[in-house]
Chains A and B, each alone.
Chain A
Amino acid sequence: MSLALDKPRQPRRPAARRSNGELYSWLFMRLSGLLLVILVLGHLFIMNILDGGIHRINFGFVAGRWASPFWQFWDLAMLWLAQIHGGNGVRTIINDYARKDTTRFWLKMLLYVSMVLIVSLGTFVIFTFDPNISN
């Protein structure tokens, strides 16, 4: 190991990677945040306030909504955006707070696996939902 004093003016940082990854992730957070405001508030309004709110929600109500591609797309967009937006937020928190590289790596792996799992399960349900499942 060389002493830090050997070359005190030598930069210790790796050279810039010239990747726009962090820029795109930052931009995505802003855009998805804006979209989610509309999607989530709309969702909450329909589910909780409109036409008697939660009292009318049952299997049939969900089945009726998902019969329309519009609501399928709405819920799909909400699922993907919320999952990636939240996941990316947790990623930056892990980057900030993990002290060791191994901790950082495994926490992020856990996060990515859980994200993939939830997104694929949700997408699978939205597209393969069978309204006649009780029969």
Chain B
Amino acid sequence: MTATTETAAGSRGAQPPVPDGAVTVTVKIRRFNPEFDDEPRWDSFDIPALPSDRVLNLLHYIKWYVDGTLTFRRSCAHGICGSDAMRINGVNRLACKVLLKDLLQKGDKQTTITIEPIKGLPVNKDLLVDMEPFFEAFRAVKPYLVTYGNEPTRERIQSVADRERFDDTTKCILCACCTTSCPVYWTEGSYFGPAAIVNAHRFIFDSRDEGAEERLDILNDVDGVWRCRTTFNCTDACPRGIQVTKAIQEVKRALLFKRV
């Protein structure tokens, strides 16, 4: 491999012309290359950007025209797939849903945007983290329909009110913004984390599902819902606006009163 770290060029050649109305912003990225670095380091880029740009556009600009070695995940780039969760100015957000105009400093002051990988998961490279511990907790709560007895010959019918009961938690896109904003998850990776509990909630309160008790048993454990300290970081971080802390509290209530 002949990769160079010094003057790594972008992956798409020459920089495009700067559009009218562009401002220069400093993007400070916490980077880590396992082949060269022992410790993560900060790297700054001064780049032109429009106030209507998303933070993801800034990262694209850096990767395409300044430093092609910058590594991050993104797939749909429209807030649906949940690939580009990162810590932007200290809070977990999807890079494709944060607009630059909301981060600009007032007046003529230089704007600096800090971008870090989401916390609490092992960093593979730059902003790319190993999501496996996150998905492991997700799988552990059985996030699928559990039923017993004979399969009905017709569709499993559900009333509008029954569907409404868990509507909020169906919105989860598994981006890990909530779980990696949780201080309990940062220090102790064995906690299930908000995202796993949200996805358990989605099935526990589904009238068609019969596995509520198994899931509640799993979440009643030492690493389950009782570790939640209601910090509300998760609710604040969720790009889909899910009331995460409320969902966790509803699971606690179901455990407390043995009623779903």
Contact = CB atoms under 8 A, between A and B. Distances in A.
Interface of A: 4, 9, 11-13, 16-23, 25-27, 92, 95-97, 99
B217 A16 contact: yes
Contacts of A22: 220-222, 224, 226-227
Contact of A16 (B132, B220, B256): B220
15 contacts: A4-B132, A9-B139, A13-B137, A18-B220, A19-B220, A20-B220, A22-B222, A22-B227, A23-B226, A23-B256, A26-B226, A95-B188, A95-B222, A95-B227, A97-B188
Interface of B: 132, 136-137, 139-140, 183-184, 187-188, 190, 217-218, 220-224, 226-227, 252, 255-256
Which 6 residue pairs are nearest across A and B when measured between Cβ atoms?
Answer: A22-B226, A16-B217, A16-B218, A26-B226, A16-B221, A13-B140
B172 to A, nearest CB: 20
A22 B192 CA distance: 14
A6 to B, nearest CB: 14
Nearest to B222: A22
A26 to B, nearest CB: 5
Given A16-B220, A96-B184, A96-B227, A11 B139 contact: yes
B14 to A, nearest CB: 41
Contacts of A4: 132
Given A13-B137, A19-B220, 19 more contacts: A9-B139, A13-B136, A16-B217, A16-B220, A16-B221, A18-B217, A18-B220, A21-B222, A22-B221, A22-B222, A22-B224, A22-B226, A25-B226, A27-B256, A92-B227, A95-B222, A95-B227, A96-B184, A97-B188
A18 B213 CA distance: 11
A26 B139 CA distance: 26
Contacts of B217: 16, 18
Contacts of B218: 16
Contacts of A12: 136
Nearest to B136: A12
Contacts of B139: 9, 11
Contact of A97 (B136, B187, B223, B224): B187
A22 B220 CA distance: 7
A13 B223 contact: yes
A26 B224 CA distance: 12
